[in-house]
Structure 1
Amino acid sequence: MPLDDALTVRMTEPDFWPVYFFDDEAPDAYDEDADEQESFGTRFRLGEAFALVLDFTPGLEYVDLALEAPGLPEPTTVGWDDQAHFHPHVMPWQELDLLCRAVALDDPELRHPGPMLALLSRFAFLADHDDLDRVTPLLDGAFVVMRPGAGRERIRPETRAWFDLRNLAGTGLTWSTRPDGHDAVDQLGTDGLSLYSLRTPDSEEFPFAAWSALLTQARESVAGVATDPALAGPAVRQALDRCTAPDGYEHLPALADALLAAGYTHPVLTRAVARPVHRAEACWAVEAMSGLPQGELVSRWFGTSPLSGSETWRLSLHVSELGRPPRFGHQIAEALDAVLRQADLGRAEAGGTALRPENGTYVHVSTSLHVLIRDDFTRGVGVISRVLHDHDAAETATLHPRGDRDVIPLHPRT
């Protein structure tokens, strides 16, 4: 089992995932003695030679992902996430899903979707070629498994938060082949989320050759599933064909019987078909045994993603603090965040504070808020306007798209 006992237990505690994802509503994990704080680590192994090594120190709000591979003298960092100088964009979604499948095939105790997908999702991003219909069922499934008592919405809140923070589709990503033959990603200006990655064309820090070898091994492992002679018999092929229809999950019991009769004994795949922890687990297992392209059956079984067509707007809100009580801007940020989350319209957080010298000290001039609005721009601006009016701050506040000086008019008081 790749997860050590301490991490396994910690993941079942209610505050783990909010702390792990640096959620604004999470308990404060910071400690002045953070160097002595417990760190949680795990290795997700692929064969004998490769491993993805995850280290998480709650007190430092720091998560590191490293690669262990032939040719590397020690585990080499491929990305990290923190609250300051983060570089979390390690891989597009398709690579994360591939790696989770390959690792799960080798470890009967590690379910996919499950802990690996949930933990490493922060290091994956949505790229132009990634299809949301193939993404959200697996990510939802991972958090159903890891947080079974949380979230009954049409889309899991963790999945929605991942989409808000990791959706780089349409932001000008460009993939290129380096002189050494390995793929690299770059971004030439954007109006959306910025790319923060070690995997850029001129990087000397990312282990390109080792990462390519890891992906090659993963592809070979997953592709090898469909070549098992026990899957070639007429009864098994017929059962698999029925399972690859849009209603194929209804035929899983018959496939389980056919696999048993054919003497097929792969412990991970037979269990995924007979006793899936989530429908998505059975889905990728059938996909692999049938030799279908990665994700094709996921979109067929689950249909259109609830996030399909979703839009987000990232805004900057400047709140004047002259003559206001201490933390006035933060109070507005907290109130606005609560209302936006309650309405499933987005979120807000306080950013930087502008100061000016006055009488030998510094006074607060304004606080900048980072605001994200989902799907309904007009309604979102209405909520922002109402919160500002409730705090008598609308007259001196300004709202505009992030990175743009154009002012967005606030709604009048109602």
Structure 2
Amino acid sequence: MPLDDALAARMAEPDFWPVYLFDGDAPDVYDEDAEDQESHVARFQLGGGFALVLDLTLALEYVDLALAAPGLPQPVTVGWDDQAHFHPHVMAWPELDLLCRAVSLHDPELRHPGPMLALLCRFAFLTEGDDLDGVTPLVDAAFGLMRPGDGGGGVQAETRDWFDLRDLRGTGVVWTSRADGHRAVDQHGDDGLPLYSLRAPDSEDFPFGAWSALLAHARERMGAAAGDRTLRAPAVRQALDRCSAPDGYEHLAPLADALAEAGYTHPVLMRAVAQPSHRAEACWAVETLSGLPQGELVPRWFGPSPLSGSESWRLSLTLPVAGRPWRFGQQVAGELSTALQDAGLGRAEVGGSMSRQEGDGYVHVEDHLDLLIRDDLAVGVTIVARILHSHGAAETAILRHAGKGDEVVPLRRPN
């Protein structure tokens, strides 16, 4: 069982996902009096001795992902996420989707999309060639099932946050083959989000051979599920052809009947067709049964991704606070975040501060705020300028594009 009762119950609590995803507005769950801070372990078994082991310590904002595989004496860390020295870029999106599908076939209790995808997507990232039309519905379904009712008619907030943090398209990230034939990832250039991965071509810390074997084992499981001879029955093929059309989800009931009549018995795929928890679950099941390439049917069933064409900008705001009220920086960050979120344009949070020594003590002189603005940079900057001018802080504050050196964004007074 991948999720023990304690973790399953914790995931159902309202504060779990904000805390797990390091949401700036998440409540503080650190207990300074506790000998051991709250931690949980989830093992996603693939069979054959393969498993992904997720170890999370919520209070310390630390999440570790390890690989267990034949030949490894113990699970080996392949990536981790925290608020300091993170290395979360473990796998390409198609690898995560493949592993979730294969684990679901092995463990009927773990449906896909569902908890595995929601928990592990922080370790997957997008690179050139990844089609958002085939990605967004699965991620959105996973978070929607974990946090029902939070979609607000658009994509889940968690889906958009994941996209903002893990979209490395256009940042010079490339997949390469090492001399031993295993895939590695590298980044050429510094435009956009940086790559932090143990899977670099010259890495001695990543278990390349075991990871390749994991993916090969997952593909074997998928192939075995799709190779059943009953799937060649004419009535089944006709039903699958109808389900492979853009309106194919309307024909799932006849497909379920045809599979049952032909004697197909795989419990996970039969359930996904006959009683899907979400349309996305039926979609990957039909892909598998039809022998379609992974992800090909998703855009047909779901259409263009709401995130297609989306952009985001990361900015750094230096805010002098000497002579200001206590927690002035936190107040401004809160107002900025509320205004940007209300406009659907992003968020803000305090990322650091600076003090200088005066006499025998130190004086707090400035705060550094991290801002994320989505889709409309000009409107987002206008909101920032308006709030700073309302506090008389725009004349001394400095707004820059993060990672762009001295490129300053003007904070003009709104009309």
Tell me if TM exceeds 0.5. yes
The structure-2 alpha-carbon separation of the partners of 1:301 and 1:401, relative to structure 1 and needing over 3 Å to count, comes to same
Give the structure 2 partner of residue 78 of structure 1. Answer: 78
The structure-2 alpha-carbon separation of the partners of 1:34 and 1:183, relative to structure 1 and needing over 3 Å to count, comes to farther
Residue 166 of structure 2 is aligned to residue 170 of structure 1: no
Give the structure 1 partner of residue 239 of structure 2. Answer: 239
**1:109-160 CA-partner distances (Å, limit 9, x unpaired):** 1100001000101111111121111111001111121112333331111100
**1:335-364 CA-partner distances (Å, limit 9, x unpaired):** 101111121101111122122222332222
Measured in 1, the distance between the counterparts of 2:108 and 2:57 equals: 28
Measured in 2, the distance between the counterparts of 1:210 and 1:71 equals: 8
User: Could you say what the CA RMSD is over the residues aligned between the two structures, in angstroms?
Assistant: 1.2
Displacement of 1:388 = 0.6
Give the structure 1 partner of residue 292 of structure 2. Answer: 292
The structure-2 alpha-carbon separation of the partners of 1:170 and 1:145, relative to structure 1 and needing over 3 Å to count, comes to same
Q: How does 1:226-375 map to 2 (within 5 A)?
A: 226-375=226-375
CA contact (8 A) 2:382 2:414 kept: no
**1:92-115 CA-partner distances (Å, limit 9, x unpaired):** 111000000000011111100001
Give the structure 2 partner of residue 407 of structure 1. Answer: 408
CA contact (8 A) 2:30 2:37 kept: no
* Ranges of 4+ aligned residues in structure 1 off by more than 3 Å: none
State the SS of the aligned residue for 1:36: coil
Unmatched tracts of structure 1, length 5 or more: none
2:258 alignment partner AA: A
Q: Percent identity?
A: 68
Displacement of 1:33 = 4.7
Give the structure 2 partner of residue 207 of structure 1. Answer: 207
Displacement of 1:34 = 5.6
Measured in 2, the distance between the counterparts of 1:154 and 1:128 equals: 25
Unmatched tracts of structure 2, length 5 or more: none
Greater CA deviation, 122-131 or 241-250?
122-131
The structure-2 alpha-carbon separation of the partners of 1:402 and 1:64, relative to structure 1 and needing over 3 Å to count, comes to same
1:108 alignment partner AA: P
**1:50-95 CA-partner distances (Å, limit 9, x unpaired):** 0001111112211111100011010111111111111111101110
Displacement of 1:330 = 1.9
Give the structure 2 partner of residue 92 of structure 1. Answer: 92
Measured in 1, the distance between the counterparts of 2:35 and 2:91 equals: 29
Give the structure 2 partner of residue 110 of structure 1. Answer: 110
Measured in 2, the distance between the counterparts of 1:108 and 1:73 equals: 28
TM-score in terms of structure 1 length: 0.97
State the SS of the aligned residue for 1:120: helix
CA contact (8 A) 1:29 1:61 kept: no
CA contact (8 A) 1:317 1:398 kept: yes
CA contact (8 A) 1:34 1:59 kept: no
CA contact (8 A) 1:176 1:201 kept: yes
Displacement of 1:224 = 2.5
1:249 alignment partner AA: Y
State the SS of the aligned residue for 1:74: coil
Measured in 2, the distance between the counterparts of 1:15 and 1:67 equals: 28
